[in-house]
Amino acid sequence: MKKQSEAMIPTPNGVFRMIAYADDNKDLMPHVVLVHEDLDSYDNVVMRIHSECLTGDLFGSKRCDCGEQLDKALQIIGEEKGILIYLRQEGRGIGLINKLKAYQLQDTGMNTIDANIHLGFEPDERDYEVASEILKDLGVKSVRLLTNNPEKVNGLNEYGIQVAERLPIIISPSKENKAYLQIKNDLMGHLLD
């Protein structure tokens, strides 16, 4: 995993250096990192690891809170001059096709965990080693991580990145995602209170 290309990108939340990370430069789906142009310290950097959610991030799906979390995280990262790592781990690591199959199963009454298991996957297939490699390449020593998921904290710590603080990123539930968020809280250990 290495830096393949980068460019400055102006956004509503500030100007960021966008960096594409992949194993080689022919990869059409690289991981993407946004580094605020005014980032001035690599200790206790405010940052978020966001796993791709095409339905929520791009199309505004209300089945989850992903798009709203991404928007809020970008606002905070812009204000705090931090970093966003956008990992290509669609559907908690099962990919878009299987995610849509899981949605079909959820429409018949399964919860998000049972649907993934029914399809032959773990409840959460994501891994944070790539994120830790990216942070090390950037020279980041410690982070203040925007997450509700303790597994992200554990994953970064396991791979040698110190999480100095976990910063919650709470989104008010909607009628469409209330049950989904309850499962994340009750069965997946996400800290949503």
Active-site residues, by number, are: 124, 126
| 151 labeled binding residue | no
Please report the pLDDT score of residue 57 as a whole number: 95
Please report the pLDDT score of residue 185 as a whole number: 63
| 171 labeled binding residue | no
Please report the pLDDT score of residue 84 as a whole number: 98
Structure pTM? 0.91
Task: Tell whether the model's pLDDT for residue 186 goes beyond 80.
Answer: no
Q: Which domains does the chain have, with CATH numbers?
A: 2-89+128-187 (3.40.50.10990), 90-125 (no CATH)
Task: Tell whether the model's pLDDT for residue 187 goes beyond 60.
Answer: no
Residue of 130, 164, 161 whose CA lies nearest to 144 = 164
| 108 labeled binding residue | no
Encode burial over 61-97: b for 16+ CB neighbours within 10 A, e otherwise: bebbbbbbbbebbbebbbebbbbbbbbbbbbbbbbee
| Structure confidence by residue, pLDDT tens digits, 85-140 | 999 999 989 999 999 999 999 999 999 889 999 999 999 899 999 999 999 999 99
| Structure confidence by residue, pLDDT tens digits, 17-73 | 999 999 999 999 999 999 999 998 889 999 999 999 999 999 999 988 899 999 999
Contact 27, 83 (CB under 8 A): no
Please report the pLDDT score of residue 1 as a whole number: 86
